[in-house]
Amino acid sequence: MRNIVSNSTLLWAIALQLGFCVVNPAQAGIPGSTSQINLDAHGVALGGYDPVAYFDQGKPTRGNEKFSASYGGAQYFFATAEHRQTFLKNPRAYLPEFGGFCVVGAAHGSKVDVDPETGKVVNGHLYLNNSARVLEIFNQDRTGNITKAESNWPAVKDKPL
């Protein structure tokens, strides 16, 4: 019986081999952490990026610690006081999927750190990726990657980073 590999799986494997999934300065996850939320050593999520900005401005925007809020064991920074207030009205609407870990990584059964610059809102949900190259893989089959990640997340969420 032949082993058939999907295009996204093949691309993911190539990306790993070529080193496209690497830690860069924007990434903040703690290696070995089993947290279900991607946090830095100070408990900050999204590498300090504003979760509301992905939805409101359509692009990643660094937050400011003077506009911060805590939710679900994580601290979030916002670019403006208005974004902070928007978040506090309905935090769950702005939280990244898969605890802020890489959607493509979860789709392939791994907990992988992210580059917040790769944030993409799809159907009202925020998805993050490890790098610009992995974002390209995500974009080739968004629905498939999201479906696989949702299926895998219960087993992935407790794995160490």
Distance, in Å, from the CA atom of 89 to the CA atom of 87, rounded to the nearest integer, reads 5
How many Cα atoms occupy the beta-carbon half-sphere of 62 within 13 Å?
5
Q: Which residues share a beta bridge with 64?
A: 78
SS (H, E, C) 1-25: CCCCCCHHHHHHHHHHHHCCCCCCC
Distance, in Å, from the CA atom of 142 to the CA atom of 90, rounded to the nearest integer, reads 25
The one-digit pLDDT tens for each residue of the chain (161 residues) are: 344 444 444 444 444 443 444 444 445 677 888 889 999 999 999 999 999 999 999 999 999 999 999 999 999 999 999 999 999 999 999 999 999 999 999 999 999 999 999 999 999 999 999 999 999 999 999 999 999 999 999 999 999 88
Rg (alpha carbons) of the chain, rounded to whole number: 15
